[in-house]
Amino acid sequence: MDTFFNRRYPGPAMIRSLFFAPANRPDLVLKFPRFGADCCVIDLEDGTPPAEKVRAREQLATTVAQVRAAGLQGMLTVRVNVPASPHYLADLEAAFATEVDGVVIPKLETVEQAFPALHWIDRLDAASPRARPRTIVGGIESVRGVLNAVALCEHVAAMGAVYFGAEDYAADIGGRRTARGDEVYVARSMVVMAAKAAGRVAIDQAVVDIRNDALFLDDASRGRDLGYDGKICVTPGQVKLAHRAFSPTPEERDYARRLVAAYDEATARGIGTIDFEGRMIDGPLLKRAQQVLALPAAEA
């Protein structure tokens, strides 16, 4: 039966930066168009104090309309409160009553927790299909969420992307956070593997030391090496850094072009493995070069 339980929805092509602003601060949300993030998030969860949540939800439609009128053309989502929260269902209803591209569900731990959002997406897509598909960005940021990451990525049909929340994960498991992040390496790896196995965009952990650009770039480089596509950003400056970190440099693009050209010339002569600039190149390395060329160039 073709239901939202087994239907595969197309997800976003790319999210190098997932940038948040609190829902109770429309003045900050209205600055989204300035920063150029790939996905902007109006945050009803951690960014909005408990006493402000109801008011922020009630003004959500106005906030969304205002930021769209301010010129935001890119992907816009709403982070709702956690599925166990009394706000969860009301947040979903408010979010899907606006012209957002989807919702961010934090601390997602079971497939069943996503069903209310899937119902909304299925219902809206049937009534009013749109060019940019509605999607779910799932937050995997607890021990149980990490252990269930494979099921979440495989079976939440409309979940186009997931992010790994290291701070919440560390708090949940009771560990200590370090700048290097060895303590979350296994969980961080499990999330990106689950995402890539299911064809989802994978967004890497936040760096909360907001004045340490070198740490952000180092952590982003580690995330890119693991296979992540982008990073949670908590300041506008981190958006630019994320785009730099998760876009190929001119040197990387030039190398990839040369490699692909050399490989194409060799395969035309019936050769499947080549010596290219001192390296043995075969199918997997060709695929990596093609992936580099498919990404947007690094911004100046």
16 touches 247 (CB < 8 A): yes
The length of the chain, given as a count of residues? 300
d(CA 63, CA 55): 12
* Predicted confidence (pLDDT) per residue in 193-232, tens digit: 999 999 999 999 999 999 999 999 999 999 999 999 999 9
Backbone angles phi, psi at 102, to 5 degrees: 160, -170
Within 13 Å, how many C-alpha atoms sit on residue 35's CB side? 29
d(CA 246, CA 130): 28
What DSSP line would sit under 140-191, residue for residue? E-SHHHHHTHHHHHHH-TTEEEEEE-HHHHHHHHT----SS-GGGHHHHHHH
Contacts of 16 (CB under 8 A, 6+ apart): 38, 229, 230, 231, 242, 243, 245, 246, 247
pLDDT of residue 2: 41
Written as six digits, the tokens of 45 are: 């969860």
Average confidence score pLDDT of the chain: 91
169 touches 189 (CB < 8 A): no
Q: Determine the distance from the C-alpha atom of residue 75 to the mean position of all C-alpha atoms in its chain, rounded to a whole number.
A: 11
Instruction: Name residue 30's amino acid.
Output: L
pLDDT of residue 254: 80
Backbone angles phi, psi at 225, to 5 degrees: -60, -35
Written as six digits, the tokens of 279 are: 């390296």
Q: Check whether 37 has a pLDDT greater than 80.
A: yes
Label residue 298 by pLDDT band (50, 70, 90). low
Domains and CATH numbers, the chain: 17-245 (3.20.20.60), 250-294 (no CATH)
Backbone angles phi, psi at 136, to 5 degrees: -115, 135
Share of the chain above pLDDT 70, in %: 95
d(CA 218, CA 251): 19
* Predicted confidence (pLDDT) per residue in 57-109, tens digit: 999 999 999 999 999 999 999 999 999 999 999 999 999 999 999 999 999 99
Label residue 1 by pLDDT band (50, 70, 90). very low
21 touches 31 (CB < 8 A): yes
Within 13 Å, how many C-alpha atoms sit on residue 10's CB side? 9
DSSP 40: E
Share of the chain above pLDDT 90, in %: 73
d(CA 144, CA 152): 11
Q: Token pair 């009013």 is at which residue?
A: 128
Written as six digits, the tokens of 30 are: 């209205």
Written as six digits, the tokens of 19 are: 């940038």
Q: Check whether 127 has a pLDDT greater than 50.
A: yes
d(CA 139, CA 164): 6
Helix axes 250-268, 283-294, angle to 10 degrees: 130
Q: Token pair 């060019």 is at which residue?
A: 131
